[in-house]
Structure formats: structure tokens, C-alpha cells
A and B are shown apart, each in its own frame.
Chain A
């Protein structure tokens, strides 16, 4: 039991990751694929953020009487990764807009049959 509770943050990460991955693979709608991709990426953000936590540590701001800080580096890293994720989402969504204009649909199965799209 402690195997689950002690590592609860990792279980959340794994659950989110699999959810996102499953949506990317199974969703027919391109927007949903992007949503899935976001969930997938978010799980990794969680992974990074939770690993920076030092038990008993506070926010990494120098203050009197505090000796134990959480590790700020993963948070900083993940800030970058979030930016990358947002950019990816933006590119993906703009592609979807253009696909909608060109094909008239964002459902994968519909344009697959129209011409040899993918």
C-alpha cells in the first residue's frame, strides 16, 4: 500500500501521461489530439515540479532561520518547457485552422478518405 501512497505524485503523473497518450492515439478530432498532447506534456511538467520538492523545505527564498529549501531548478526548467508546450499548441492549432479551411473538416477519418492525406 505504501508503494502507492509514498509515490502518489508519480502515480498521478503516470495516469495523466497515459490518458494524454491514449487521447492522442485514439481521438479522431484533431483539436482533441492537441488536447491530449497537452495533457501528456502537463504530466511531464508535474513530474519535474514534484521532484523539486524537498520534504520540509520551503520556497527557495533566502530568509532568516530557514535552512532547508526546495530545489528551484526544476521549476525554472519547466517554465521553459511550458513555453515550448504553448508554442507547440499554437502551431498545432494554427495548422488545424488551415486544415479546416483546406479540407472543410478536422475529423481525421473524413479527410483520410477524401484524398491520400496521411
Chain B
């Protein structure tokens, strides 16, 4: 991109982390005048996106981007190294940050939330740490910013300040911190003591390690240590975090935080273990089936939830395990599907969350049972909800199709028929818990509204919310018809390919 040509590639990484950080400071500085503050947020988001685009461009050109910051321990420090998977995640997160900011402005004002400066500040900090996670060059860096992300999102979860919010925050912080300290840090240190390096390397770093049993344990530690991936039984934090304002749920708990989790798992699987090594570990299958069980169980739980956000939360738990399963299938197609699912699920789920928030702002309804006939009041929102739902289910012409297709291909490729069956059953379950919502909204009539429908009856959410919803639902459709850039990016990841390897 011409805009950032004057900068060294390494500086671009620093910029991508610093820009949102400086944005956070500016948000605090301009906190007194909300309009200026929101301008700061939006322009920061846009600038960040252009930086990420520039980085993407360089990656396609094959330029190596890396940056060493400081050395914490001999031979080990904070370092950044750009690779395609991280770029994919950074693109998704930074683009959706713009949209979410637009949405958040409408939502926060429409909902008359307090402490908006703290909200936007922590939001920017969280994005800053997400960028650092995306571009992290070794496990230590990943771990550090993983923790920063947890801590910076905690004030967002407890934003409401009510007892329920505090309780949710406690569960959120409790599970994420304890799993990361007790399991992830142990796994990181174990890796360090086994290999003497924590760098992400194509093909993994365990090639010369003799202790296969220890590696098997390490895999379990990594899977559960990255609590943000919400593999059962450490998934409770995600529904608990739904007490947060909807933009937080939308960006952080459909995109940034949870995707940071599955992204970390993908990254560990691809660059620390290596897909070949992974195939030979005894615990890979165990974790794979736990992931599959998570998909099914949380889909079932989602069906029992009447609160819309809770249902979406459990849907997220289930969808995250798609990515975990994709990673653990240890096949290059499945890994590609998992990477693709980061993007497609993000677009679909954020649309759904936006809609949930819009419904809450416009009609103050939280429960699905109250939403019958809501399509008359909020036709645009409900239409977008339907698009998002279809994308999550994985039906054409929505983006979710591609990722599910590749995941299923990967499962077939790895001869795991049980996983194929899981994917099919899960899609049916998705239909059962998502589609009734727009269906009821459009085709069930609430009692009082008997006259013919006209536009004058609509009571839609604020305009910024609608714009955001429109963009993301459009994104779901565009990604179906035009997935080539994403696929090209994914094919750059070592060992990962949407068409499969000969040895895969």
C-alpha cells in the first residue's frame, strides 16, 4: 500500500500494535467530548486497517517481516514475526473493529451506557494486544499478550458494574487466568526446557525430541491452557462474559478473544508441533473427540437457552471447537478449513450479535420467546440475522459454506468418519436452534399487531447499528462468492493447503 511505503516492514508491526495503544491514550485524553472521542476511535480503527492491509500486501510479495523488541531471558525475548495465519486473523480483527466501533457508537448512546471512555479505551487496548498476538514470533510473546488481552477485557466484561456483571467477570477472569497460568505457562516452560526454543517454525520444533509421551501431555496442556478456545469443561467463562455490553460480546467474544484462543491453538499445532508430529501423538485423538463432543454438547445446551445472547454464546463455544477439531485433525485441508472458519465464523457470529444488540436497544427484548412477530418492527435486523444464521449453519450462498466444506473434506482426508458425522449432526442442530428465531420473527404474529404491514410500523435500531449490521451480513455473502484472497492467503501457510497435500 502506498500509504505506508515510507516505513520499514519491521516498523509496520510496531505500528500495528502501537496505533491502537496510542488510540487508547487519545480516547482517555478526549474523554470529555464524546464526539471527538468517537472520531479518535474510528480513525484509529481505519488507520490500523490500512496498516494491516499494507502488511498483507508485503506478505503476498513474500517479504519477511520481523521485529525483536527486548530480550527477557537469555536467547528468549519479545519478538514479532509475521506469517500468513496471523495476517488472516489481523485482517479479520482490524476490519471488524471498524464496523464494531460504528456499531458501538450507536449502541452505547442508544443504550445510555455510563463509563463510555473506559469502554472505548479498554476496547482499543484489547485490539492492541490482539495485534500483538497475531504477529507474535514466539510462544512467550503469545503468552504475554494473551494475558494482557485477558486483563484488558476484564473491565469490559464487568462494565455494567452490577452484581451479575461482577460475578460474570470473576468467572471470566478466574477461568482464563487459572488455565493460562496453570496449564499454558507450564506447557510453554515445558516446551522451553525440552527444546530450548520457543520460536514458531514451519514444521514445528519438536522434530528432535525423543520424549513422545511428554509431547502428548504437552498437547493436552496447550489445548486446555488456551482457555480462550473454550474446550469443555473450561467453556463456562464464555457464557459468563455475556453480561458485557453487546459490542463487547460481538467483537471480543465472537471475534477477538475467542479467536485469539483458537488462533493460538492453530498456531501451536502448525508451528510448534507441526502437523506431521501431531499425527503421531497419542493424545491428539483424545483431544479431537473432546472437541467433537464440545461441538455437540454445547449445541444441545444452546437449544435450551431462551436468552438470545446466551444461545449465541453456546453457539460460539460449539463453533470454536470446529476450529480446534480442524487443527487437531492434522490434515492440511482441515487446517485450512479451520483457518478459514476464523474468518467466516467471525463475520457470521458478529452479525448475529449485532442483531441481538440492536433488538435490545430498539425493543428491549432479551428472550427469544418474546421475539415472535418482531420481524414486523425490525425487518432489516431480522433479515440480517437470517443471513448470519445461514452462514453459521453453513448453507450456500453464505461464507460459512466454505469453511465447513473444507473441514469435512479434511475429516474425510484423515479417515475420521465420526468427525464427519459430528459436523453433519452439528449443522442440523445449528438449524434447530438458529433458524426458528428469524422464522418466528417474520411469520408469527404477536397478538396486538393485526393490521397490514407497512414501513411506518418499523422501529429499527439506531442508524450506526444498522450500517454495521448491513456491512457484516454483506460480508457473509461476499466471502461466499469471492473467497479467493482468503484462500490464497491460507495457502501461503506452511503445510496448509485448501487442496490437500499428496502425503496428507
Indicate whether A and B are direct neighbours in the complex (CB within 8 Å): no
Residues of chain B whose beta carbon lies under 8 Å from any beta carbon of chain A: none
Residues of chain A whose beta carbon lies under 8 Å from any beta carbon of chain B: none
